[in-house]
């Protein structure tokens, strides 16, 4: 697959996610799947499986950022039941969950800022921008996602 096609499909995932607002559990999973796709592209760049390309890197960052700003809207009361791995702690400790979300948004905003108009200049700049975001994935999953 051409690199531009990969970047495009990642962006399309997040657009599709934003449109599917009627089922909060399905929507938040779709958003997290977009996160997963952006993480996979990022890992391919970081490991050198894919040649570094600032446009692709920026697309991954912008996908993560879009998810960080929309994700919190899909946890209405009662959506702890059903086909979900969301931990009951999300509702029991709403402030703690909000804090994880805020960190994710803050790091994604900073990465977008660092990416500038044309994307992070090189792999080192990309790595510095996304590493705090990927730490947030682990933190939130450890505390607020069921195994």
Residues that bind ligand HEC (CB under 6 A): 25, 28-29, 32-33, 35-36, 39, 64, 84-86, 100-101, 104, 133-134, 136-137, 140-141, 144-145
The nearer residue to ligand HEC, 26 or 121, going by C-beta atoms, is 26
The nearer residue to ligand HEC, 36 or 76, going by C-beta atoms, is 36
Q: How many CA atoms lie within 13 A of 44 on its CB side?
A: 16
The nearer residue to ligand HEC, 29 or 58, going by C-beta atoms, is 29
Cβ contacts of 52 within 8 Å, gap of 6 or more = 45, 122, 123, 126
CB of 33 to ligand HEC, least distance (A): 5
CB of 105 to ligand HEC, least distance (A): 9
The nearer residue to ligand HEC, 104 or 126, going by C-beta atoms, is 104
Q: Which string of DSSP letters, residue by residue, matches 35-52?
A: HHHHHHHHHHHHHTSS--
Q: Which string of DSSP letters, residue by residue, matches 56-88?
A: HHHHHHHHHHHHHHHGGGG--TTTTSSS--B-T
Q: Are 79 and 25 in contact (CB under 8 A)?
A: yes
CA 42 to chain centre: 11
CB of 21 to ligand HEC, least distance (A): 15
CB of 117 to ligand HEC, least distance (A): 23
CB of 122 to ligand HEC, least distance (A): 21
H/E run at residue 135: helix 123-144
The nearer residue to ligand HEC, 53 or 79, going by C-beta atoms, is 79
């Amino acid at each position: 697959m051409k690199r531009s096609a990969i970047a495009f499909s990642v962006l399309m995932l997040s657009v599709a996610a934003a449109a599917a607002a009627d089922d909060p559990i399905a929507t938040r999973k779709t958003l997290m799947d977009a996160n997963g796709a952006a993480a996979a592209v990022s890992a391919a760049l970081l490991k050198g499986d894919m040649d570094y390309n600032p446009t692709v890197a920026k697309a991954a960052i912008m996908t993560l950022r879009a998810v960080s700003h929309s994700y919190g809207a899909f946890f209405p009361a009662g959506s702890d039941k059903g086909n979900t791995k969301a931990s009951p702690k999300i509702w029991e400790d709403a402030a703690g969950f909000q804090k994880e979300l805020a960190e994710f948004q803050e790091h994604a905003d900073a990465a977008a800022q660092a990416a500038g108009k044309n994307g992070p200049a090189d792999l080192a700049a990309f790595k510095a921008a996304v590493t705090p975001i990927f730490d947030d994935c682990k933190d939130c999953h450890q505390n607020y996602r069921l195994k």
